């Protein structure tokens, strides 16, 4: 294989593997004490669409993969209904370790973990980010405006279109909200 000429290689841009390596066997916050696996994120490193959830649950912690439990199965169905596969998109979370008992992420945990997500999204440079649920939307958009108000229109995150929508776990408890999520996904599909 012929290497790209030196002046076309951006030596300052890390790869997702570089970011994973930098994260290492993370002990930056107390969540490391009870986690089984770090859930870094997975999918296409050149995805046009990235989904960002809240934090790994029990299934994700066991497998080291994002959105593989009940809520994850619903997210997979949503992705497929959009005419895509999980391999086409990138899926990750605000936190990379499971909060014990699935409690809400704490502000200092978010502050510690967020730089890695920021770097992942900088590398992937998706056309659209879909923020799943309140924590993802609030963390990325630096707002406290309720998800009910945020969803349904595009916002901007670091120059990228960001669509907040309801979390699939919320949809499992409130199936009536699926219609609104599907409206949000249709807006995303038009933009992609």
List contacts with ligand URA (CB under 6 A).
53-57, 60, 66-67, 69, 71-72, 93, 169
**What minimum distance in Å lies between the beta carbon of 13 and ligand URA?**
26
**What minimum distance in Å lies between the beta carbon of 77 and ligand URA?**
14
For residue 179 the two structure tokens come to 């219609």
Q: State the Cα–Cα distance between residues 137 and 158, nearest whole angstrom.
A: 14
Closer CB to ligand URA, 5 or 40, in the complex: 40
Closer CB to ligand URA, 128 or 137, in the complex: 137
Composition of the chain by helix, strand, coil, percent to 5: 45, 15, 40
For the beta carbon of residue 54, count every other beta carbon within 10 angstroms. 23
Closer CB to ligand URA, 5 or 140, in the complex: 140
User: In what side-by-side order are the strands of the sheet with 49-53?
Assistant: 42-43, 90-93, 49-53, 128-132, 160-165, 155-157
Q: State the Cα–Cα distance between residues 6 and 71, nearest whole angstrom.
A: 44
Closer CB to ligand URA, 53 or 126, in the complex: 53
| Burial of 144 per CB tally in 10 Å (0-12, 13-18, 19+) | exposed
Closer CB to ligand URA, 11 or 124, in the complex: 124
**What minimum distance in Å lies between the beta carbon of 128 and ligand URA?**
18
Q: State the Cα–Cα distance between residues 126 and 179, nearest whole angstrom.
A: 25
**What minimum distance in Å lies between the beta carbon of 163 and ligand URA?**
16
**What minimum distance in Å lies between the beta carbon of 59 and ligand URA?**
7
């Amino acid at each position: 294989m012929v290497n790209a000429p030196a002046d076309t290689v951006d030596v300052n841009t890390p790869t997702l593997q570089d970011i994973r390596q930098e994260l290492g066997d993370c002990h930056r916050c107390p969540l490391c004490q009870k986690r089984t696996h770090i859930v870094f994120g997975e999918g296409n490193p050149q995805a046009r669409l990235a989904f960002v959830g809240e934090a790994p649950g029990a299934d994700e912690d066991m497998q080291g993969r994002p959105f593989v439990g009940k809520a994850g199965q619903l997210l997979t169905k949503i992705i497929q209904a959009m005419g895509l596969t999980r391999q086409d998109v990138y899926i990750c979370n605000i936190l990379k370790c499971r909060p014990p008992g699935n409690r809400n992420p704490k502000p200092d945990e978010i502050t510690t973990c967020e730089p890695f997500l920021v770097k992942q999204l900088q590398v992937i440079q998706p056309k659209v980010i879909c923020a799943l649920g309140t924590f993802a939307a609030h963390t990325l958009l630096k707002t406290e405006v309720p998800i009910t108000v945020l969803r349904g229109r595009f916002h901007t995150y670091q120059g990228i279109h960001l669509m907040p929508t309801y979390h699939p776990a919320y949809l499992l408890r409130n199936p009536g909200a699926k219609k609104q999520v599907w409206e949000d996904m249709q807006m995303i599909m038009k933009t992609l």
